[in-house]
Structure 1
Amino acid sequence: MQIPETPNLIHYAIPFFVITVILEVILTVKVKLDEYEFKDAGTSIAMGLGNVAIGLFTKGVVLSIFYIIYNFYHLFEISFVWWAWILLLFAEDFCYYWFHRISHESRLFWASHVVHHSSKKYNLSTALRQTWSGSFYTFIFWFPLILIGFHPVMVLVQMSISLIYQYWIHTEMIDKMPKWFEAIFNTPSHHRVHHATNPQYLDRNHAGVFIIWDRLFGSFEPEVEKPVYGLVSNIETYNPIKVAFIEWYNLLKDFFTTKTSIINRFKYLIKPPGWKHDGTSILSGDLRKEWEVKKKADV
């Protein structure tokens, strides 16, 4: 079987990203929504460009690792046929769901993913605000696809397709899609919830392409209240370097300087963001529970 070269779909999509961001700016001004914050958008674009530049290196590393695993062992021989791509669409999205969910539940993965949530605005430029460090280690969530027998090239292509799909859902210009579409696919409405800091929205709607995983695994929340975007504790900077690495600095600081047991030090890596060994934790799950209790009391 002749193996095709790996197309870098993100690079082909860059002109489309630029054009749509410009169109959104024009439409935002025209309908008199909140002013487009150009400093914030500039930071997002800088993060996106950095992600693409780093990806020139990491994509090769990841592909090599995938090949090593694939050549060592894979259960089935899955060829480049149409039905295999359909299977991979769902299988890759399932892996993405768990990667995304764990990235909110484990600080080690949150340290890279926090970048994407660091903007207090929600527009197409926010979609470009991508990690500079995550591609070095988050690929482990896609190992099962290689072991099943999907070719490494297929997996990388589908990962890019998923990322491109998720671009258009970063907007407030679209309210709701048709009900059948909202029931199956990730949409702007579902993803606005994911980026919100409202207590009922915290750590919800981790979908990539299909919202069905959130519905199946109990992490779905519909958009009702107007979302407030950003982080529970916002990163007050437009500096791309700080945005990219401030959580890594805070994580390593907690790990190396906190006066506690070695077990607790490692818990700073695996526990959710905000966890403290002394019981003073501010966890998103606790904030949500407080909201649920208050809601029941108000009924």
Structure 2
Amino acid sequence: MPEFPNLIHFAIPFFVFSMLLELYVTTREKYKETKGYETKDAFASIAMGLGNVFLGFASKVLVLLALSWVYENFRLFTIPVAWWSFVLLFFADDLAYYWFHRISHECRLFWASHVVHHSSEHYNLSTALRQTWSGGFYSFIFWLWLPLLGFHPAMILLQMSISLLYQFWIHTEAINKLPRWFEAVFNTPSHHRVHHGSNPIYLDRNHAGILIIWDKLFGTFQPELEDEKVKYGLVNNINTYNPVKIAFIEWWNMLKDTFTGKKSLKDRFQYLIKPPGWKHDGTGKLSDDLRQEWLNSNKQK
């Protein structure tokens, strides 16, 4: 098995330096309208990141075993470790990430772990560290088609790390818009601010990892609007800095909805697979409903 360095561990000093630099920059008068850093919120995000790293030792073993099992037993081709295969893997991994990320917003079972990343009402580089403690144990299923094609598991894990590192720097309000050609192709702070917005028009948009082209191709792209300032967080915020609650509160809510009350077996199952906001009695509102209400309201203005 080829050996590649663990890029995330090497990047930790860069993370710390970047957050300190951002903290300095955003205290300037030019950025007085941003929410910036809030001590409890930032430490909660860092705690979630540290928990993700520690639990990552266990989840990475599971992921490696799963990828290796598919690669060793079912691969259709054998793709060599070469520069051109990394180019192909770059696009394949980014497509896998798009669908993982999109489904994580459209299926409550995956949202239960992904909601952690959206739980902060602030948007800065520390928010990028607010990572799941549970998702790593099952989200890898979106990447199983890569070893099936013949990409080596070590290559896949390396590219997944590269994608995660890229997404760190886009969690900031200190960068407004980049050159038009870059905004057209790549995920940027502007695009990702939209993704973290709880404004109805911004809900479940811009699921990109590195390339924003997937959102444009599959109809989930939404530009940041000058007259609609992003409001960060959730439609219903959890209002806690407790890392354990942040990590598991949606799991609790989902399982409570699934197993309590008088419901049919079908309805219980649908609480796991339907989007967040769905209710069996029809009283729930999905992000599409909220977006349509916003669009109708703004047409009348």
Structure 1 length-normalised TM:
0.97
Q: Does 1:241 align with 2:244?
A: yes
Taking the aligned partners of 1:35 and 1:251, their CA distance within structure 2 comes to: 31
* Equivalent residue letter for 1:9: L
Confirm whether residue 256 of structure 1 aligns to residue 259 of structure 2.
yes
CA shift digits 1:45-98 (9 cap, x unpaired): 000000000001111111011111111111111011001001100110000000
Does residue 17 of structure 2 align to residue 19 of structure 1? yes
Map 1:204-243; keep pairs closer than 5 Å: 204-224=205-225, 225-243=228-246
Q: Give the conservation status (yes or no) of the 8 Å contact 2:4–2:154.
A: yes
Q: Is the 8 A contact 2:36 2:123 kept in 1?
A: no
Residue equivalent to 1:142: 143
Structure 2 counterparts to residues 266-285 of structure 1, below 5 A: 266-285=269-288
- Residue 118 of structure 2 is aligned to residue 120 of structure 1: no
* Distance (Å, rounded) in 1 between the aligned partners of 2:232 and 2:122: 6
Between the aligned partners of 2:200 and 2:59, the Cα distance in structure 1 is 36
Deviation at 1:7, TM superposition (A): 2.4
**1:80: which partner in 2?**
81
* Secondary structure of 1:29 counterpart: coil
Structure 1 counterpart SS, 2:26: helix
Dislocated runs of 4+, deviation >6 Å: none
Give the distance between the partners of 2:221 and 2:213, measured in 1 at CA.
9
Moved more, 234-243 or 71-80: 71-80
How far the C-alpha of 1:295 sits from its partner, in A, is: 2.5
The answer to whether 1:108 aligns with 2:106 is no
Matching residue of 1:7:
5
The corresponding residue for 2:164 is 163
Partner residue of 1:28? 26
Other-structure match for 1:173 = 174
Contact persistence 1:258–1:265 (CA under 8 A): no
Unpaired runs of at least 5, structure 2? none
Partner of 1:294: 297
Measured in 2, the distance between the counterparts of 1:230 and 1:22 equals 23
What is the deviation of 1:286? 0.4
Q: Say whether 1:56 aligns with 2:57.
A: yes
- Code of the residue aligned with 1:276 in structure 2: it is K
- Check 1:35–1:79 CA distance in 2 against 1; reply closer, same or farther (3 A cut): closer
CA distance in structure 2 between the aligned counterparts of 1:232 and 1:153, rounded to whole angstroms: 38
1:154 partner letter:
M
Say if 1:127 and 1:35 are closer, same or farther in 2 by CA, change over 3 A: closer
How many correspondences in the alignment? 296
- Rate the CA distance shift 1:297–1:35 in 2: closer, same or farther, 3 A: closer
- Rounded to whole Å, the distance in 1 between the matches of 2:147 and 2:268 is 33
After TM superposition, the score normalised by the length of structure 2 is: 0.97
Counterpart residue type for residue 275 of structure 2: P
- Assess if the C-alpha contact under 8 Å between 2:96 and 2:142 holds in 1: yes
Question: Percent identity of the aligned residues?
Answer: 66
The separation in 1 between residues aligned to 2:115 and 2:4, in whole angstroms, is: 28
